[in-house]
């Protein structure tokens, strides 16, 4: 049985993937900062599986260090999907060091540190596949300065690390996703908070004139966790239903 580690598992893309891999009988290692939400998810998934769920706020050093110690005791991980991230409402273009460091820590440093523990301790079998969830904001100025900067750094990290590790059967990808909606993600929250702005965004920014659902990206994940996707290692793949003008694959 394969094991998947998913960060940010209690909402949006992470929640959708947790449910998908649970239905596929993967062993699950799931993290989320909200204890109530992670316990509800565990209860939901227990009908088919026995997930390892950790309520850890990765913005708090004590919580994150505690998780890394627990991670180091795992025997084997086959797939890692880093869904944790966000802009956290930091829209000021004149961003200061404190806010930028916070965004970097959540969006990049957590993934880097988790990868390092898994790689240093060789917590994988014959192969390992790592997927970083980026954003189209990293290739076009469609979001805040801070968010775009830290997501752009994931592209460089993915490309360079993949080149070093591919000869060890370790395959690393970065998905640059456009707008999508799923339970409690940013766009669902926007729809509840300000439906007018939500509808204007769809009308003006999305060529399909409707927003994608997180499940629409499942095919990409199925490809990237299989050997069929290994040739894409190191790539940053735009998946946005033509939302942006990017020429990336």
pLDDT digits (tens, 9 = 90+) for 179-190: 999 998 989 999
Burial class (CB in 10 A: 0-12, 13-18, 19+), 47: exposed
Taking 70 as the threshold, does the pLDDT of residue 249 lie above it?
A: no
Q: For the whole model, what pTM was predicted?
A: 0.94
State how far the Cα of 53 lies from the Cα of 38, in Å rounded to an integer.
7
The pLDDT > 70 percentage for the chain reads: 99
Average pLDDT, the chain: 94
Taking 90 as the threshold, does the pLDDT of residue 203 lie above it?
A: yes
Taking 80 as the threshold, does the pLDDT of residue 198 lie above it?
A: yes
Look at residue 248 in the predicted model and tell me its pLDDT.
Answer: 67
Please measure the distance between the N-terminal and C-terminal CA atoms of the chain and give it in whole angstroms: 32
Taking 80 as the threshold, does the pLDDT of residue 230 lie above it?
A: yes
Residue 194 vs residues 12, 88, 90, 219: alpha-carbon distances, Å:
18, 17, 18, 31
Averaged pLDDT for residues 38-64: 92
State how far the Cα of 187 lies from the Cα of 201, in Å rounded to an integer.
10
**CATH numbers and ranges of domains, the chain:** 3-239 (3.40.50.720)
């Amino acid at each position: 049985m394969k094991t998947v580690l998913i960060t940010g598992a209690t909402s949006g893309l992470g929640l959708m993937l947790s449910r998908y891999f649970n239905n596929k009988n993967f062993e699950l290692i799931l993290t989320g900062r909200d204890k109530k939400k992670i316990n509800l998810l565990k209860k939901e998934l227990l009908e088919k599986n026995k997930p390892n769920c950790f309520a850890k706020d990765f913005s708090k050093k004590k919580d994150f260090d505690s998780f890394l110690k627990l991670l180091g005791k795992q025997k084997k991980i086959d797939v890692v999907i880093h869904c944790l991230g966000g802009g956290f409402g930091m829209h000021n273009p004149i961003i200061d060091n404190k806010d930028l460091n916070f965004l970097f820590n959540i969006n990049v440093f957590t993934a880097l540190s988790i990868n390092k523990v898994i790689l240093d301790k060789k917590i994988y079998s014959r192969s390992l596949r790592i997927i970083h969830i980026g954003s189209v904001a990293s290739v076009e100025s469609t979001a805040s300065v801070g968010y775009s900067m830290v997501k752009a750094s994931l592209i460089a990290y993915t490309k360079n690390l993949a080149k070093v590790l591919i000869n060890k059967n370790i395959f690393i990808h970065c998905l640059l996703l456009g707008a999508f909606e799923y339970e409690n993600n940013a766009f669902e929250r926007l729809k509840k908070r300000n439906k007018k702005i939500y509808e204007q965004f769809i009308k003006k920014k999305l060529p399909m004139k409707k927003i994608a659902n997180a499940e629409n990206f499942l095919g990409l994940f199925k490809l990237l966790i299989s050997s069929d996707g290994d040739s894409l290692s190191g790539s940053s793949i735009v998946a946005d239903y033509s939302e942006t003008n990017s020429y990336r694959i």
